[in-house]
């Protein structure tokens, strides 16, 4: 089994995302790769013009554009 990448949640909880899953996921809006944001428990689009941040809830990425936080918005 591949290693898990620990991501620290805002409430001090640890969220685990399999590395192979993170490699497969893409931003629903622009299809760019996603990266884990350790401090906010989010997956963030790597495309600088998009930059949407998708929440991770109960170790499940919520990849809905309507649920995403825009760059510069408070979490």
Tens digits of residue pLDDT in 22-73: 999 999 999 999 999 878 889 999 999 999 999 998 889 999 999 999 988 7
Output the pLDDT for position 8: 44
Using an 8 Å Cβ cutoff, are 32 and 25 in contact?
A: no
What is the rounded distance in angstroms from the CA atom of residue 11 to the CA atom of residue 59? Answer: 14
What is the rounded distance in angstroms from the CA atom of residue 50 to the CA atom of residue 42? Answer: 15
Output the pLDDT for position 10: 43
Output the pLDDT for position 40: 83
**Between these two residues, 43 and 7, which has the higher pLDDT value?**
43
Output the pLDDT for position 32: 98
Q: What residue segments make up the domains of the chain, in order of their start? A: 4-67
Architecture of domain 4-67: Single Sheet (2.20)
- If you average pLDDT over residues 16-27, what whole number do you get? 91
Written as one string, the DSSP assignment of 31-49 is --BEEEETTTTEEEE--TT
């Amino acid at each position: 089994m591949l290693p898990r990448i620990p991501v620290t949640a805002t409430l001090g909880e640890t969220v685990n995302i399999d590395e192979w899953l993170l490699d497969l996921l893409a931003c629903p809006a622009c299809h760019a790769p996603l990266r884990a944001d350790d401090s906010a428990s989010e997956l963030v689009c790597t495309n600088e013009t998009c930059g949407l941040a998708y929440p991770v809830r109960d170790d499940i990425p919520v990849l809905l554009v309507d649920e995403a936080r825009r760059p510069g918005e408070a979490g």
